[in-house]
Chain A
Amino acid sequence: MPHRCVYPFTAIVGQEKAKKALLLNVINPRIGGVLLSGEKGTAKSTMVRALSGLLPELTVVDLPLNITEDRLIGAIDLEKAVSHGHRACEAGLLARAHGQLLYVDEVNLLSDHIVNSLLDVAQSGVCVVEREGISYAYHARFILVGSMNPEEGPLRPHFKDRFGLFVEVQGEKDRERRKEIMHRRLAYEKDREAFRQKYDPAERALGQELARARQILPDLLPGEDLVRLAAELAVKSCCQGHRAEQVLVETARALAALHGKNRVRLEDIWEAAELALPHRAASLRPLEQLQRRQQEQPQEEKPPGGKEGEQTESKEQTKREAALDPEGTAKHLMSPGREAIADAAREQKEQEQKERETREKVEAPGTTFPISLKHPATSPQNPRQGRGRRSLTRTTSLQGRYVRYRIPTGKVRDVAVDATLRAAAPWQKVRREEDAAERVIILTPDLREKMRERRVGHTILFVVDASGSMGARRRMAETKAAVLSLLHDSYRKRDNVGMLAFRGREAVSLLEITRSVELAQKKLSELPTGGRTPLAAGLELAYTKLKGYRAKDPGIIPLLVLVSDGRANVSLQGGDPLEEAKALGRCLRAAGFSSLVIDTEQDDLELGLARQLAGEMGARYIKLQELRAGGIAEAVRRTLSQ
C-alpha cells in the first residue's frame, strides 16, 4: 500500500471519548468493537486509521463498500483449480482481518447481504465457506469498527447492537482547539514524514501503555458486586438481550487496565455505561438518576468478594433501587410534543374567526416537524425494509451493485464472469485433456448470473386537496407543514416525489416525479387554495400518473399520499361526487397501489368522509393532528436513544 504515513493518533485534537473507545477495544477485543456516529469532517476515519500507527502488530483492514461476497468470506482458488484441478479455498478479507481491526466507513450504506455475512462471522468468530464445491472454515476474530453519518440514514438496529460501544462524534466548538486542528493538519500535509517523527515519542509511549494494559487485562476480573451492577444497569435501561452487561464488564476491565489499576472499580462500570449503553438503552434517564444518586453519596469502594463486601453490596442495592424513580419515561418523552400541540391549538383558535371558503389565497406553510413515513406495504419482518433508503430491490436490470451470484434459472443476461470461472475451474484439467485445448473451457452448467442490489426510494405522489374548505382555520398551513415534513423525510431517504393538487373544477399536476425535494417544496409553498373540491378528478389524475410511472420503471414502489378532508363536491362524470371518488379509490386498490390518507378534517361536526374513502382505497388512515403528535414523540425518543 502506498500509504504508510498515517496521521498520528496522538496528534488528533479532542474527540477524547471516541479515542478512548477505540483504545479500549484494542486493549480488550472482547468488547466487540465501536461505532462512531457523527457529522461529516470530524476525523472519524482519521482516528480509526491512526490506530495502525500505535502497535506494530495491529493493522487496520478496510472493508470497501463495493465488496462482493466472494472477496469478503472467500471462494475457490481459481488458479490452483485451473492448473491443478485442486479445489482449494482462497480466504477472503475476513481472514486478513483475523486478530486485526476491520474498519467499515459509511457502515450504514453497506449492502444488506454483506451485512448479514459480516454479522454471522462477527458473532461466531469463525468464517465458514460453503460454496462452489468447497467446504472450508477459518478463524476470523476481529475488532469491528464502523463509522457513519446519521444524516445518510440509520443503521439496522440489529447491526447497531453488534457494536460493543457507541460514540457520538462532534466537531470542536472551541476556537483554540479548532486553530490547533488546522495547524496540525497543514503541518502534516506539508511534510508527513517530519510530522510523524515529531509525534513518534508520544506514539511510542501510548503504544507501550497499550501493550502493558493488554498484559494485565487477564488478571483483572470484576467482583460479584460489579457484575451485579452491570446486569442491573442493563435491565434498568431496558436493553434487549444480554450483550449489554457483557460489554459493560469487558469495557470496565479494559478501562481499569488502561488506567493501570489492579482491580476493576465502580467508576469503571459507570464510565463503561456511557460508552456501552447509548445505542442499546431505550432511555438513559433511569441511568442518569441512578448515577446522580450514586455521586451524591460518598463513594465507598469495597474490594471484591468477602462477607463485608456482600453486606454493603445488598444495602447499596436497596438504595440504588430506591433511587430509581419509576416515573414513566413515556411521560417525560411526551411533554415537548404536548406543548407543541397546545401551541398549535391556540394558534388555530386565534385564526378561528378569519376567512372562509371560496376566496383564493396562498397560505404559508406552518412549522414543520420531524416525522417518519413508513410504507404500509413493508412490515418490519420484511427484509426489504432497511437502512437509509426505504427499500432495497433486487434489480433485474443491469444497474446496481453486484453483491453475489446465483445459478441462473432461465436465459442468462448478466454473466457473473468470476463466479462462472470459479465454477468451471476444477474441471479444466479433465476437459483440456479431452479437448487438447489451452484455453479455459466453459460449459453451460458453469454459467452463473450476477445478483445486483439497487437501493430505490419510493415514488411518492402527493395528492393535495387545495379547495376552499381546506383554507379555513389555518388548515392549509397545517397541511402544508405536514406535507413538508413528509417531504423532508423523503429527502433523507432519497425518494422520488411528485405532487398534484385539486381545487375548483379540476386537478392539476404541480410537479412531475423528481428527486428534487427542494422544487417540490417551492411548488407547495406557492400553492393557492380556494374553490370547490373535485376529489374524483384528483384521484383520477393520480391513477393515470402512477400507472404511467410504473410502466416506465417497473422497479419502483409507488405510494400515494392523499391529503384531504374527503368532502368531495364536484363530480367528474355527473354522478355523486363522493361515490365517484370511492369508485376511483377501489380502482387504485385493485391496481395494487399502496396509499395513505391524511385526514385534515377537524370540525366539531365530523363527517368521517376521508376515513370512508381510506377504507375503499385500502389505505392507511391517519388524522393530521395524530401525525404531528406522533412525529414529535418519535423524534424525541430517537434523540434520547442515540
Chain B
Amino acid sequence: MKLEKLIYPFTAIVGQAMMKKALIANVINPALGGVLILGEKGTAKSTAVRALADLLPLLEVVDGCPFRCNPRVRATLCRICLERLEKGETLPVSKDKMRVVDLPISATEDRLVGTLDLEHALKKGEKKFEPGILAAANRSILYVDEVNLLDDHLVDILLDAAAMGVNTVEREGVSYSHPASFVLVGTMNPEEGNLRPQLLDRFGLAVEVRGEDAVEQRMEIVKRRLAYEKDPRAFAAAYAPAQQALAEKIAAAGAMLSEVTYSEQIIALIAEIAIELGVDGHRADITMLKTAIVLAAMEGRKEVKGADVAEAAAFVLPHRMKRKPFAAEQLDLSLVQERVKAYVKRGGH
C-alpha cells in the first residue's frame, strides 16, 4: 500500500514573507548557500520547506543511480555514472521529484556520511560503500531541524559537504567520495544555544521568523488550516492556479539568472557596506551580490538595482556581524539604507 502524501500548498502559507523569499531564492540559485531560519516553534518552518519542494518541477536523474546524478552535467557525475559513460553506455534518464531529506538530530555519523555495507561485508567479505543521508540529499533540500543541537562534529561534516558539494568518506575501511550538493535549510531557536560563528557564516542567508502578531492574520491561519484538514484535495485545487503561477515564476527567474547584469557602482556599494559594517571575510560580499541578482531575476529585471542590494543585505548580514561578547545583538540596517540612498542620489537606481 502506498500512502499518498498530501502537502499543504506553499502559496497558502500566511505571512512569513522573508522566509518564503529566502527559500525561493535558494531554489532558484542553489549556490546561495542555504537558509538558516531562526525562530520559535510552530511558525510553519517545516511546512514551508516541504511545500516548496512539492512545487518545483521534476528533476532529470540517472535512473537507478543512488546519488540521482544529473545526466546533463558531466562534471557533477558520481563515479559509477562516470564509469558507465566511459564504457560507452548511455545513461538511462528518468524524472524524479525534488526531495526534502531530513537530518534528525539523533543521527549518527555513519548514517550521515555513509559507511561500510555490513551485509555485503559479512556475506562476501568485500568492502562496499553504503550511501548515507548526504548521498540521498544530493540535488535535494537537506532539512535540519534544531541545527544548533546537532552534535558538533556532525555540523562540521555537514557544512564541509555543503561548501564543497562533495562528500569525502575516509572511515571504517571505506574510502569513497560522491557528489553531495544540496540546499541546506537549518532551523534553530537561539535561546537554546548558539551555533559557532564559523558555521553561521556558512549559511548563505538567514531569516528570523516570528508568529504573526495581527489578529486578522492569525485568524486567517486557523481558517486555512481548518479548510485544508477538512478537504485537502479541494483546498489544493483552490490554490492550484497560484501554485502554478509561482512555479512558473521560479522557472523563469532561474532561466534568466545568467543574463542579469550589475554595474560597477553596485559592486562598489556592496563593498562599501561590507567594509563599513566590518564583516569578517568575503563570503558576505559575494553572497550579497548573488542574492541581489536572484532578487532582480525574481522581478523579471535584467539589472540589479540599489534596492535589491538593500534587500539582500537584510538576508545576508545579520548572522555574520562580528560578535562582540554579549553586546546586544541587533544589526542596525539603517546604515545599509543610508548607503543605498546615497547611491541612488549619485545617479544609480
Check: A42 CB closer than 8 A to any chain B CB. Answer: yes
List 7 A-B residue pairs with CB atoms under 8 Å apart, sorted by A's residue number: A2-B76, A43-B282, A72-B170, A151-B196, A455-B152, A515-B194, A518-B190
Check: A331 CB closer than 8 A to any chain B CB. Answer: no
CB distance from A76 to the nearest CB of B (A): 9
Check: B272 CB closer than 8 A to any chain A CB. Answer: yes
> Contacts A43-B282, A70-B172, A106-B156 hold; do A487 and B125 have CB atoms under 8 A apart?
no
B166 touches A3 (CB 8 A): yes
B284 touches A401 (CB 8 A): no
Q: Which residues of A contact B116 (CB under 8 A)?
A: 417-418, 421
| Closest B residue, CB atoms, query A487 | B326
Check: A296 CB closer than 8 A to any chain B CB. Answer: no
Check: B256 CB closer than 8 A to any chain A CB. Answer: no
Cα–Cα, bound, A484→B174 (Å): 46
The residues of B with any CB-CB pair to A shorter than 8 Å are 31, 75-78, 108-110, 113, 116, 118, 121-127, 151-153, 156-157, 160, 164-166, 168-175, 177, 179, 190-194, 196-198, 201-202, 258, 264, 267-268, 270-272, 274-275, 279-286, 289-290, 325-326, 329
Cα–Cα, bound, A514→B198 (Å): 21
B286 touches A68 (CB 8 A): no
Which among A400, A418, A515 has the greatest number of chain B C-beta atoms within 10 A?
A418
Cα–Cα, bound, A72→B173 (Å): 10
Q: Which residues of A contact B267 (CB under 8 A)?
A: 179, 182-183
Q: Which residues of B contact A161 (CB under 8 A)?
A: none
Among A18-26, A77-85, A215-223, A252-260, which stretch is in contact with chain B?
Answer: A77-85
A516 touches B173 (CB 8 A): no
A2 touches B78 (CB 8 A): yes
Restricting to A204-224, which residues have a CB under 8 Å from any CB of B? Answer: none
Using A65-B156, A399-B151, A401-B153 as known contacts, list a sample of 5 further A-B pairs with CB atoms less than 8 Å apart, ordered by residue number in A.
A66-B157, A179-B270, A455-B152, A515-B192, A517-B326
Among A170-178, A468-476, A576-584, A596-604, which stretch is in contact with chain B?
Answer: A170-178
B172 touches A418 (CB 8 A): yes
Which among B116, B280, B282, B329 has the greatest number of chain A C-beta atoms within 10 A?
B282
Interface of B is mostly: helix
Cα–Cα, bound, A172→B284 (Å): 12
Q: Which residues of A contact B177 (CB under 8 A)?
A: 1
B156 touches A2 (CB 8 A): no
Among A184-192, A312-320, A619-627, which stretch is in contact with chain B?
Answer: A184-192
> Contacts A3-B164, A79-B126, A402-B109 hold; do A422 and B173 have CB atoms under 8 A apart?
yes
Q: Which residues of B contact A17 (CB under 8 A)?
A: none
Q: Which residues of B contact A5 (CB under 8 A)?
A: 75
A2 touches B31 (CB 8 A): no
Q: Which residues of A contact B284 (CB under 8 A)?
A: 41
A66 touches B171 (CB 8 A): yes
CB distance from B329 to the nearest CB of A (A): 8
A140-165 to B contact mask, C-beta < 8 Å, 1/0: 00000000010110000000000000
| Closest A residue, CB atoms, query B196 | A152
| Closest B residue, CB atoms, query A148 | B198
B75 touches A516 (CB 8 A): no
| Closest B residue, CB atoms, query A172 | B282
| Closest A residue, CB atoms, query B153 | A401
Which among B113, B123, B179, B325 has the greatest number of chain A C-beta atoms within 10 A?
B325
Number of A interface residues at 8 Å Cβ cutoff, please give it. Answer: 79
Q: 3 nearest interchain CB pairs?
A: A41-B281, A82-B125, A41-B283
Q: Which residues of A contact B192 (CB under 8 A)?
A: 514-516
Check: A458 CB closer than 8 A to any chain B CB. Answer: no
Restricting to A386-437, which residues have a CB under 8 Å from any CB of B? Answer: 398-402, 416-418, 421-422, 425, 428
Partner of A40, one of B170, B173, B281: B281
Cα–Cα, bound, A571→B327 (Å): 38
B198 touches A151 (CB 8 A): yes
Cα–Cα, bound, A70→B127 (Å): 14
CB distance from B285 to the nearest CB of A (A): 5
Cα–Cα, bound, A439→B190 (Å): 51
B282 touches A516 (CB 8 A): no
Q: Which residues of B contact A3 (CB under 8 A)?
A: 75, 164-166
Check: A118 CB closer than 8 A to any chain B CB. Answer: no
A1 touches B280 (CB 8 A): no
Check: A464 CB closer than 8 A to any chain B CB. Answer: no
A2 touches B170 (CB 8 A): no
Check: A549 CB closer than 8 A to any chain B CB. Answer: no
Q: Which residues of A contact B198 (CB under 8 A)?
A: 40, 106, 149, 151-152
CB distance from A197 to the nearest CB of B (A): 15
A40 touches B193 (CB 8 A): no
Partner of B122, one of A40, A171, A178, A440: A440
The residues of A with any CB-CB pair to B shorter than 8 Å are 1-5, 39-43, 62-68, 70-72, 75, 78-79, 81-83, 93, 105-106, 109, 149, 151-152, 171-173, 175-176, 178-179, 181-183, 185-186, 189-190, 192, 368, 398-402, 416-418, 421-422, 425, 428, 438-440, 442, 454-455, 484, 487-488, 491, 494, 514-519, 521
CB distance from A449 to the nearest CB of B (A): 13
Q: Which residues of A contact B191 (CB under 8 A)?
A: 516, 518-519
Cα–Cα, bound, A417→B282 (Å): 43
A417 touches B172 (CB 8 A): yes
CB distance from A152 to the nearest CB of B (A): 6
Cα–Cα, bound, A268→B274 (Å): 36
Q: Which residues of B contact A43 (CB under 8 A)?
A: 282
CB distance from B175 to the nearest CB of A (A): 6
CB distance from B51 to the nearest CB of A (A): 28
Partner of A66, one of B109, B124, B274, B282: B109
A41 touches B280 (CB 8 A): yes
CB distance from A27 to the nearest CB of B (A): 27
Partner of A516, one of B190, B281, B285: B190
A401 touches B325 (CB 8 A): no
> Contacts A39-B281, A402-B171 hold; do A79 and B127 have CB atoms under 8 A apart?
yes
Q: Which residues of A contact B76 (CB under 8 A)?
A: 2
Which among A42, A186, A192 has the greatest number of chain B C-beta atoms within 10 A?
A186
Q: Which residues of A contact B283 (CB under 8 A)?
A: 40-41
Q: Which residues of B contact A416 (CB under 8 A)?
A: 172
Cα–Cα, bound, A488→B323 (Å): 11
Q: Which residues of A contact B274 (CB under 8 A)?
A: 178
CB distance from A47 to the nearest CB of B (A): 12
B280 touches A40 (CB 8 A): yes
Q: Which residues of B contact A442 (CB under 8 A)?
A: 122
B172 touches A186 (CB 8 A): no
Cα–Cα, bound, A171→B258 (Å): 28
CB distance from A483 to the nearest CB of B (A): 11
Q: Which residues of A contact B166 (CB under 8 A)?
A: 1-3
Cα–Cα, bound, A450→B125 (Å): 20
CB distance from B273 to the nearest CB of A (A): 10
> Contacts A66-B153, A175-B272, A417-B116 hold; do A186 and B289 have CB atoms under 8 A apart?
yes
CB distance from B176 to the nearest CB of A (A): 10
CB distance from A315 to the nearest CB of B (A): 48
B156 touches A182 (CB 8 A): no
CB distance from B208 to the nearest CB of A (A): 15
B281 touches A42 (CB 8 A): yes
B282 touches A68 (CB 8 A): no
A64 touches B160 (CB 8 A): yes
B197 touches A518 (CB 8 A): no
CB distance from A101 to the nearest CB of B (A): 16
Cα–Cα, bound, A438→B125 (Å): 10
> Contacts A1-B177, A185-B286 hold; do A516 and B268 have CB atoms under 8 A apart?
no
CB distance from B257 to the nearest CB of A (A): 9
Partner of A78, one of B173, B193, B194: B173
A421 touches B275 (CB 8 A): no
Q: Which residues of A contact B196 (CB under 8 A)?
A: 151-152, 494
> Contacts A179-B271, A368-B326, A518-B194 hold; do A402 and B172 have CB atoms under 8 A apart?
yes
CB distance from A527 to the nearest CB of B (A): 14
Cα–Cα, bound, A269→B275 (Å): 35
A439 touches B282 (CB 8 A): no
> Contacts A3-B166, A152-B198 hold; do A66 and B113 have CB atoms under 8 A apart?
yes
